[in-house]
């Protein structure tokens, strides 16, 4: 089903776009990870701090369209304080539902999923150091399979 832009750009997305939560950088992050969507030029960078197997703190910064930036901001809220076990299962549908865009078309889906990709790469880079690259590689695969 096609969505109209009145659906896509609902109040909540515009609100997160203009007043992003958890925007910025962390002083001493365990992980800094950044990726771009080459098609659009959207950029998302995440700073993550871990403690006792949990996301202690997370910030994002970047530039891009309303969908990419709102999605990044929402994701930081979704994972804040969560355990690694809890966030490992986070998938594309979780993000699309949080955005309220379950049927986003192929042209824009990468905008929505960039933040999830960056986040998963962040978890990977943390775990790769903790438990080894091979053991953590499934998370990297998940990240790169998003698009």
Partner 1 sequence: MLSMLDIERIRADFPILGRKVRNGKRLIYFDNAATTQKPKQVIDAIYNYYMNYNANIHRAVHQLSEEATEAYEGSRAKVARFINAKSDEIIFVRNATEAINLVAYAWGRANIRAGDTIVVSEMEHHSNIVPWQILAREKGARLHYIRIDHDTNTSRDDHEKGEGGDSGGDGSLILDDLYHAISHGNVKLLAISHMSNVLGNINPVKEMVEICRDKGIRVLVDGAQSAPHMPVDVKDIDCDFFAFSAHKMLGPTGVGILYTKREILDAMDPFLGGGDMIREVHKYDAVWNDLPWKFEAGTPNIADVIGFGAAVDYLNTIGMENVRLYEDELTRYMLSRLTEVKGLRLYGSMDADRRGAVFSFNLADIHPHDLATILDEDGIAIRSGHHCAQPLMERLGVAATSRASLYIYNTKEEIDRFIDSLERARLIFKVGG
Binding footprint of partner 1 on the chain (CB under 8 A): 2, 4-6, 8-9, 14, 18, 39-43, 63-67, 107-108, 111
28 or 107: CB nearest partner 1: 107
Nearer to partner 1, 26 or 40 (CB): 40
- 18 or 25: whose CB is closer to partner 1? 18
Q: How far is the CB of 100 from partner 1 (least distance, A)?
A: 15
Q: Map tokens 């896509």 to a residue.
A: 8
CB of 96: closest distance to partner 1 in angstroms? 16
């Amino acid at each position: 089903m096609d969505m109209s832009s009145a659906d896509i750009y609902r109040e909540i997305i515009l609100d997160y776009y203009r007043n992003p939560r958890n925007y910025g950088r962390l002083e001493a992050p365990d992980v800094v990870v950044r990726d771009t969507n080459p098609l659009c030029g959207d950029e998302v960078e995440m700073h993550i701090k871990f403690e006792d197997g949990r996301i202690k703190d997370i910030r994002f910064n970047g530039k891009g369209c309303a969908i990419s930036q709102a999605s990044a901001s929402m994701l930081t809220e979704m994972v804040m304080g969560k355990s690694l076990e809890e966030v490992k299962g986070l998938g594309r549908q979780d993000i699309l539902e949080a955005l309220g865009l379950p049927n986003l078309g192929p042209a824009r889906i990468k905008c929505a999923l960039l933040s999830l990709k960056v986040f998963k790469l962040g978890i990977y880079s943390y775990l790769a150091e903790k438990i080894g690259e091979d053991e953590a590689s499934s998370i990297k695969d998940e990240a790169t399979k998003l698009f």
